[in-house]
A and B are shown apart, each in its own frame.
Chain A
Amino acid sequence: MRRKLTNNDNFLGYLFLAPALLFLGLLIIYPVMSAIIQSFYNTNYISGSNSFIGLDNFISIVHDKIFWKALYVDVVWTVGSVGFQLLLGLLAASLISRESTVNKVIRSILLTPYVIPIISLALLFRWMLNDTYGIITSFLVRSNVLVQGGSLLANTKLALPTVIAVNILRSFPFCMVNYLGTIQSISQDPYEAAMIDGANAWQKFRFITLPHLKGITLSLLILRMIFEFNSFEMIYLLTEGGPAQATQHLPILIYTESIGLFNFGRASALSVVMGIILVMMITAFTRLFSRKGEVM
């Protein structure tokens, strides 16, 4: 009997997975369920209220201009970040796709913005964009883009494009390594054939490389959209949602509602709304994978 059990896949499978499932169950699935329940309560730690109010949280959110503004900022942030990440990632990957020592070194250098703590990167840019001593600010003032004492992060119109730009620097390396992996896995034969036919570099890229990148582009697009739509740190550490809520997207709104105002019920309802958007994106993501049979 004992011998049998230790060779039984059903038993071993769950035995090996038990710790992981325990962690995920306790720390992800149970908490998520409790947040969904809390979204129907008007929990507030300051006023001490905690009673069932049905859909009221959701109704008040839908009627809240701040919510729609945050959703709009979130969409601009996501589309801007993801679009340029993919573009720069692809460009960088195609520049260093040939396997050589120099290219390997360049690859490691280009990956650093993605590796270092996000707080270092954010504080570095806050320093460079500082209104008095920032080197970028001083450059922009000298070229008359900014007035003396101004800063890109303090400008309601320019703050969002600025945080998006910093975020692109942070995340394009992720797209780059993914594109690099795919480009390097393409067989060399069509390129040799194209060379004999006298194709130039652009034609080779356009007609051989690009068609191979469809799949990875689609996966990256959805994966990065999920990450950016929900990413909190970069904007929070650069502007905390300011100036005048110009960069307040949904994750920052949730953070302000809960950590700032202690409106846990309402913040939970906001999380549920974001969760619904997330589930739609994940469904698209897993559909894509299972159709191509890549996940299993």
Chain B
Amino acid sequence: MKAFSVKLFKIAGLAFFLGIVILPFAWMVLSSFTSPEYLFSKAPSLIPKGFWTGWYASVFTKSNVPRYFMNSLLVAATTMCISVAVSSLGAYSLTRFRFRGRKTIMYAILCSYIFPPILLMLPLNHILSSVKLVDTFPGIILTHLTITIPLGTWMLRSFFAAIPIELEEAGQIDGLSKIGVFLKISIPMTAVAIFSIGLFSFIQSWNEYLYSSVFLISTERKTLPIGIREFIAHYDTRWGEIMATSVLISVPVIIMFISIQKYFVVGLTAGAVKA
């Protein structure tokens, strides 16, 4: 009897969590495939009303979304590459080299990871406008790097620390320099983790809203999260297109996330505790 009520509690709990997560997303997907006469109904219901792809057709042919998609891809991919290179070097230095000021730098990186974008927005605006990088791709990539480098460095530390030190020592005995050890042993051994943290940077850049909304102005350079706002107008908000675009922004992220899940979770938890 007792075991039964525990089980019941568990099932009810799981149903609750799955419900609050799945129902909204189901509604997003469902709305994106619903034709206008049912979408704009004053008595909406969860029952699907056919499979209508008009919103997607409109998004692909009549809007700037394809362009924004390419912009987002370019910005996120560049951010990912720079971020991975810079953070893996930094993280390796912090885990394997013993030098003066190491602890201070570690705190500085932890603090810049915690430092909120809203407080950095004004100063960054000041800097970017003084070097004429407002409304440019290099400018927005720089701002995204302030988010991805500290977190990337912080997360990669735990992966480098997990390499058995004996392996690196053996490499040195075999005549490799410390740089050689890093390039020929440590990098190959953590390649998958580094790649996953790279994709994590990609996702962060892909999702970023605040900086992009402030620093990207012209249509040719807007990224998806900013571009989608074009469907919102005071009297005519294009909900069908918005839901279709939301699906299109979210799906790549969800696919990437599922493929790197293991490292993603380690990365997330590294934010709060040492993994």
* Chain A interface helix/strand/loop/mixed: helix
* Chain B interface helix/strand/loop/mixed: helix
> B261: CB under 8 A from chain A?
yes
> A196: CB under 8 A from chain B?
no
- Interface size grouping (class) on chain A: 35 or more
A232 cross-chain contacts in B, Cβ below 8 A: 116-118, 210
Give Cα distance in the complex from A28 to B143, angstroms: 10
Smallest CB–CB gap between A83 and chain B, Å?
A: 17
Q: Which residue of A lies closest to B271 (CB)?
A: A223
The answer to whether residues A116 and B249 also contact, given A13-B93, A23-B149, A127-B239 and a CB cut-off of 8 A, is yes
Residues of chain A from 91 to 112 with CB closer than 8 A to chain B in the complex: 91-92, 95-96, 106-112
Give Cα distance in the complex from A7 to B178, angstroms: 6
Partner of B243, one of A30, A124, A132: A124
Give Cα distance in the complex from A180 to B268, angstroms: 12
- Interface size grouping (class) on chain B: 35 or more
Check A123 against B115 for contact (C-beta < 8 Å). no
Check A17 against B206 for contact (C-beta < 8 Å). no
B253 cross-chain contacts in A, Cβ below 8 A: 115-117
Give Cα distance in the complex from A201 to B94, angstroms: 43
> A119: CB under 8 A from chain B?
yes
3 closest A-B pairs by beta carbon, nearest first, are A31-B123, A230-B116, A13-B99
B residues neighboring A (CB under 8 Å):
2, 6, 10, 13-14, 17-18, 20-22, 24-25, 27-28, 31, 39-46, 85-87, 89-90, 92-94, 97-100, 102-103, 105-112, 114-127, 142-143, 145-146, 149-150, 153, 177-179, 182, 203, 206-207, 209-210, 214, 224-225, 228-229, 239, 242-243, 246, 249-250, 253-254, 257-258, 261, 265, 268-269, 271-275
Q: Could you list 30 examples of A-B contacts with CB < 8 Å?
A: A10-B97, A12-B179, A13-B98, A17-B89, A24-B112, A27-B124, A27-B145, A28-B115, A31-B123, A35-B123, A92-B17, A106-B14, A108-B261, A111-B257, A116-B207, A116-B253, A127-B28, A128-B24, A178-B272, A178-B273, A181-B269, A182-B273, A223-B271, A227-B116, A232-B118, A258-B125, A271-B118, A271-B119, A285-B114, A286-B111
Known: A95-B14, A117-B249, A274-B119. 16 other contacts (CB 8 A): A7-B178, A9-B97, A24-B146, A26-B127, A28-B112, A106-B17, A109-B18, A115-B254, A117-B209, A127-B28, A127-B242, A133-B239, A177-B265, A181-B265, A226-B116, A259-B214
A residues neighboring B (CB under 8 Å):
3, 6-7, 9-10, 12-17, 19-21, 23-24, 26-28, 30-32, 34-35, 38, 88, 91-92, 95-96, 106-113, 115-121, 123-125, 127-128, 130, 132-135, 138, 169, 174, 177-178, 180-182, 200-201, 215-216, 219-220, 223, 226-227, 230-233, 237, 251, 254-255, 258-259, 264, 267-268, 271, 274-275, 278, 282, 285-286, 294-296
